[in-house]
Chains A and B, each alone.
Chain A
Amino acid sequence: MNPMNPMNECEDLACTRRRLLTGAGVLGGLGALELAAPRMAFAADRHNTDLLVVVSLRGGADGLSLVPPIADHDYLAARPDIAVKPSQAVKLDRHFGLHPAFAPLVPYWHNQQLAVVHAVGDSDGTRSHFEATDAMERGVNLANGTQTGWVDRLMTARGLAAADFPAMAIGYPPGTLRGGAPALALNSVSELRVQVAQPATHRTETALAQMYDGIAGPNAVAARGTLDALRRLAPFRDKTYVPHAGVSYPNDSFGNGLMQIAQIARAGLGLEVATVDATGSWDTHEGMGVATSGYLHNQVSSLAGGLAAFARDLGPLLARTTIVTVSEFGRRVAQNGSSGVDHGHGSVMLALGGGIRGGRVYGRWPGLGATQLDNGDLRATTDYRDVLGELVRRRLGGTRVLGTVFPDHRPHELGLARQR
């Protein structure tokens, strides 16, 4: 073990193993997108839960660059060309720093709304993007054949199927939302229109509704959901969204996606869950650059700039918002021959929001010495479901839903979220 073990003294965590409710029964494909009349109802438990924003860092984000263990000599030795050096990092504590491109988020660290969990990952340890992503989005072990996503189960367990507008996805398919709970995928609110000559708009939309009425299957479900969204979001699509004063989103897919989420969240339509992908790929096998410039630097800049703009734009809403980042795995400790790092295991997760006990690095540091690694990789000493499970329990629905959301993992207490 690394003698420094600086991450939060886990005594209080390891001890409070929560008792888990076992699975609360069958997950129904409740009312997929058979949305009720276009009223602006809030979900029943709206005031007891946070808005959850899940940010996916696809490709396997290098936790050792995002939150470098700057005091660990093994880290610097394994990465002679690409390490984030102690002098370059934003110092978080005596062991860890933040990648310098996280600068826009540093204020949230200092006001204790941003927390880091390090050496986190799945329990299967697969190094396949597709397998790891799939299992993680389903929120179960690889061997578990459950087909629904963990966010979908969370929504179903909370009875959100009857809500008007509980979930939205920006960008490519969130496996987290796969299942029966209603969710709307869109690129931009302003694009939600059928582009025909004005007098024909209503007739065309009515015709489309008639031809998809009563038809089964995913396409028809999507068609009806689309028409419903067109109706409900019509009041917003023609207005240019104005973020809070001084807020400027990065002009990339992540920034634009977050801005759509902020628009819907601030409109008071009852949004409960949003998913979005960080810009670009985190699969840095090659040419990842250095701390101050290059590919990964730009990736982190986009992530940090987007999250900071979003947090600021939410304003008072941030107090009841929980943002969490996930990535399918971390990367090899040692750099490869192409100034990159191959697939690894342990990575980091970030949690940001009013209910987060931030300003701390959570988890248990396993060390980077030769005997401490997992096939050359940072061990995952914290299961990603420990993080998500705690957010669910304390901020997003409570203990009663936990067993259905994460049926085959008993989350350990980390202490990173306050009870609502």
Chain B
Amino acid sequence: MLTGSVAGAAAVGVLASQVSEAASPSRSTRPLPVTHDPVLHAVRRLTFGATPQLVAHVRKVGVSAWVDEQLSGATDVGATLHGTGLSSVPLPPAVSGPVMNELGHYGITDLQVQTFARAAFGDNQVYELMVELWTNHLSIYGAPFPQHKVVDDYTVIRKHALGAFADMLAASAQSPAMLLYLDQAYSRGNNPNENYARELLELHTVGVKGGYHQRDVHNAALALTGLSVDETTGRFTYQASWHHVGPVRVMGWSHPNRDQRNGKAVALSLVSYLAHHPMTANRIATKLVRRLVSDAPPAGLIASSAAVYRAHGTQIVPVIKHIVGSREFQRSAGQKSQRPFEWFVQCVRALGLQASPDLTTNGASIVYALRQLGQAPFEWSPPNGYPDSTSAYASTATMLARWNTVQTLVRGGYHGLQHVDATALVGAPVPSTVGGLVDRLSQVLLNGTPRADLKRAALTGVGLKASHVIDASAAHGLALPVAALLLSSPEALVR
């Protein structure tokens, strides 16, 4: 398979303003004020949206206990979901026969909607966050082989998202979706295809500066020959007759590799070597610190996290706990932004939207919204996964898509989601002025009182003064446009 196009990603334009505007001649700017409330900070960073209920829960039990709670036994890959009419999103059945027969009805849209549903309505928020991270670390453009990506989702990513990276990588090296996506399935010893071998080194493990050369890539490709996909069943197979025989050497790993019958073990030995490599530890640590702490991950925390990764045999949970417990984490409020997928899910959660019973069968418009926003799951076509930085999504096209998406969201324009319950959103007692309503909604949606300029903006948006007196019916009517404005704000982008 060709390694995908940028066409999927091309649905969004990204703006090139990635250098500070400090030198701006026309006016001065200042950073958005952010709260350093440790509970709110932790919940924002570790979930897909800090609802008032969740924040209250974490305040009660404490951040550390909540994180432990999230990281223990949270590997329920089916995930219990909240929401009327939708108690759970069933996983596809374990495949015993031909994949295409058993999962033929699955399209990539189904998996995209399920991914959204689990992020929005699942209890295991940290788990879902890690699923998202590993999905992009071992990124696969899903459209050409949706059934295989479904299998990959639950046998590679979800199965190991809080387990050991070495296990996840070994599963990935035997995942038909990956082997097809990066052309490994067709690679034969007499004429190997280097695509998977290169990305295994460059993206999945040691990284481009990991210290390997073209001969290592070529040797890795030779060592991996035989890892393939059975054309009849669509399942992983080891094709012994395609395996290269003879000594192979990749960085510090080597193998005499004398017997085709033993080739799968040779390949997995290489994969395991790479998973445990210090440069891989560094790369995984960097990725986690970037995800959880800052777009500019602190070097000291990367180093200590990498040490934890190595000391725990590539186990992921100890690394997460180390990072979340660090001073760097606690001091990092304001250093991450909500990327489009996170932001969309956050809006759904903040507005208290419930899933409709038809979400999993009729959720295509949600996927369309995510595509407009530039971050529909499994649609990043190159193998390096969606970027994790503010600037990658700070574009005209994405910003406009955010503003328009939230307007559609409050209007109830997406199938699979119920309409906003304005009465529940505003709560009781109903504020008696427009200013009071803006304050109330800011608490619910943004977890704090509005900045003066934001409040003024919200009032401008509805064309009313703060002191304007409203009854309950007017308050509930105004709640939707005010909510859309607040969720369009810079505050709503703080992660």
Using a CB–CB cutoff of 8 Å, the interface residues on chain A facing chain B are 28-34, 36, 58-59, 126-131, 147-149, 152, 167, 169-174, 176-187, 191-192, 194-196, 200, 203-204, 206-223, 225-226, 229-230, 253, 257, 277, 279-281, 283-287, 295, 336-338, 340, 342-343, 375
Q: Identify the closest chain B residue to A222 (Cβ).
A: B394
Give Cα A208–Cα B22 distance, bound, in whole angstroms.
Answer: 22
Give Cα A343–Cα B407 distance, bound, in whole angstroms.
Answer: 45
> Which residues of chain A are within 8 angstroms of B17 by Cβ–Cβ distance?
32-33, 180, 182-183, 218, 221-222, 225
B172 within 8 A of A: no
> Which residues of chain A are within 8 angstroms of B286 by Cβ–Cβ distance?
none
Interchain CB contact under 8 A, A185 and B198: no
List B468-495 residues whose CB lies under 8 Å from chain A.
481, 484-485, 488-490, 493
Q: Taking each of A126, A203, A253, A286, which has the highest tally of chain B beta carbons within 10 Å of its own beta carbon?
A: A286
Taking a contact as CB atoms closer than 8 A, the residue among B9, B26, B384, B400 that contacts A226 in the complex is: B400
Give Cα A192–Cα B14 distance, bound, in whole angstroms.
Answer: 14
> Which residues of chain B are within 8 angstroms of A126 by Cβ–Cβ distance?
208
Least CB distance, A377 to chain B, in whole angstroms:
10
Give Cα A180–Cα B25 distance, bound, in whole angstroms.
Answer: 12
20 residue pairs A–B, Cβ–Cβ below 8 Å: A31-B21, A33-B17, A169-B16, A172-B10, A178-B18, A180-B17, A185-B13, A186-B13, A195-B404, A200-B481, A206-B461, A207-B457, A209-B457, A212-B490, A214-B29, A216-B32, A281-B3, A281-B4, A337-B187, A338-B193
Interchain CB contact under 8 A, A336 and B457: no
Interchain CB contact under 8 A, B21 and A215: no
B460 within 8 A of A: yes
Q: Taking each of B20, B21, B183, B481, which has the highest tally of chain A beta carbons within 10 Å of its own beta carbon?
A: B21
B311 within 8 A of A: no
**If the complex has contacts A171-B6, A177-B16, A219-B399, are A31 and B193 also in contact, measured as CB distance less than 8 A?**
no
> Which residues of chain A are within 8 angstroms of B12 by Cβ–Cβ distance?
172, 187
Interchain CB contact under 8 A, A169 and B460: no
Least CB distance, B31 to chain A, in whole angstroms:
5
> Which residues of chain A are within 8 angstroms of B408 by Cβ–Cβ distance?
195
Give Cα A212–Cα B485 distance, bound, in whole angstroms.
Answer: 12
Taking a contact as CB atoms closer than 8 A, the residue among B3, B14, B29, B188 that contacts A169 in the complex is: B14
Q: Identify the closest chain A residue to B463 (Cβ).
A: A203
Give Cα A204–Cα B487 distance, bound, in whole angstroms.
Answer: 13
Mask, B442-480, CB within 8 Å of A = 1, is: 000000000001101110111100000000000000000
Least CB distance, B376 to chain A, in whole angstroms:
13
Least CB distance, A33 to chain B, in whole angstroms:
6
B398 within 8 A of A: yes
B66 within 8 A of A: no
Least CB distance, B49 to chain A, in whole angstroms:
18
Shortest Cβ-Cβ A-B pairs, 7 listed: A185-B13, A177-B16, A207-B461, A337-B191, A218-B394, A210-B457, A173-B14
Q: Identify the closest chain A residue to B408 (Cβ).
A: A195
Mask, B305-329, CB within 8 Å of A = 1, is: 0000000000000000000000000
> Which residues of chain B are within 8 angstroms of A209 by Cβ–Cβ distance?
457
Taking a contact as CB atoms closer than 8 A, the residue among A170, A214, A225, A337 that contacts B193 in the complex is: A337
Starting from the known contacts A207-B485, A216-B20, A226-B399, 18 additional A-B residue pairs (CB-CB under 8 Å) come to: A29-B19, A59-B2, A169-B13, A173-B16, A179-B19, A185-B15, A185-B395, A191-B400, A196-B407, A196-B484, A208-B488, A215-B29, A217-B394, A222-B398, A223-B490, A281-B5, A281-B382, A284-B2
Taking a contact as CB atoms closer than 8 A, the residue among B28, B391, B462 that contacts A218 in the complex is: B391
Count class of interface residues, chain B: 35 or more
**If the complex has contacts A149-B16, A212-B490, are A277 and B10 also in contact, measured as CB distance less than 8 A?**
yes
Least CB distance, A225 to chain B, in whole angstroms:
6
B392 within 8 A of A: yes
Interchain CB contact under 8 A, A59 and B396: no
Using a CB–CB cutoff of 8 Å, the interface residues on chain B facing chain A are 1-7, 9-32, 183, 186-188, 190-195, 198, 202-203, 208, 214, 217, 337, 381-382, 384, 390-392, 394-400, 403-404, 407-408, 453-454, 456-458, 460-463, 481, 484-485, 488-490, 493
Q: Identify the closest chain A residue to B186 (Cβ).
A: A338
Interchain CB contact under 8 A, A285 and B3: yes
Give Cα A338–Cα B400 distance, bound, in whole angstroms.
Answer: 42
Give Cα A185–Cα B217 distance, bound, in whole angstroms.
Answer: 36
Q: Taking each of A217, A229, A253, A336, which has the highest tally of chain B beta carbons within 10 Å of its own beta carbon?
A: A217
Interchain CB contact under 8 A, A187 and B28: no
Give Cα A167–Cα B395 distance, bound, in whole angstroms.
Answer: 13
Give Cα A280–Cα B190 distance, bound, in whole angstroms.
Answer: 30
Q: Taking each of B5, B28, B198, B408, which has the highest tally of chain A beta carbons within 10 Å of its own beta carbon?
A: B5
Q: Taking each of B9, B29, B381, B384, which has the highest tally of chain A beta carbons within 10 Å of its own beta carbon?
A: B29
Interchain CB contact under 8 A, B186 and A281: no
**If the complex has contacts A128-B208, A208-B457, A285-B2, are A34 and B488 also in contact, measured as CB distance less than 8 A?**
no
Give Cα A154–Cα B2 distance, bound, in whole angstroms.
Answer: 34
Interchain CB contact under 8 A, B24 and A34: yes
Least CB distance, B94 to chain A, in whole angstroms:
29
Least CB distance, A26 to chain B, in whole angstroms:
10
Taking a contact as CB atoms closer than 8 A, the residue among A170, A203, A220 that contacts B460 in the complex is: A203
Give Cα A191–Cα B397 distance, bound, in whole angstroms.
Answer: 9
Interchain CB contact under 8 A, B7 and A216: no
**If the complex has contacts A203-B461, A208-B488, are A214 and B28 also in contact, measured as CB distance less than 8 A?**
yes
> Which residues of chain B are within 8 angstroms of A218 by Cβ–Cβ distance?
17-18, 337, 390-391, 394
Taking a contact as CB atoms closer than 8 A, the residue among B6, B16, B26, B462 that contacts A36 in the complex is: B26
Least CB distance, B54 to chain A, in whole angstroms:
24
Give Cα A105–Cα B75 distance, bound, in whole angstroms.
Answer: 56
Taking a contact as CB atoms closer than 8 A, the residue among A129, A167, A178, A192 that contacts B19 in the complex is: A178
Interchain CB contact under 8 A, B14 and A127: no
Interchain CB contact under 8 A, B191 and A336: yes
Give Cα A394–Cα B398 distance, bound, in whole angstroms.
Answer: 36
Q: Identify the closest chain A residue to B451 (Cβ).
A: A211
Interchain CB contact under 8 A, B490 and A220: yes
> Which residues of chain A are within 8 angstroms of B10 by Cβ–Cβ distance?
170-172, 253, 257, 277
**If the complex has contacts A128-B198, A183-B15, are A219 and B390 also in contact, measured as CB distance less than 8 A?**
yes
Interchain CB contact under 8 A, A342 and B25: no
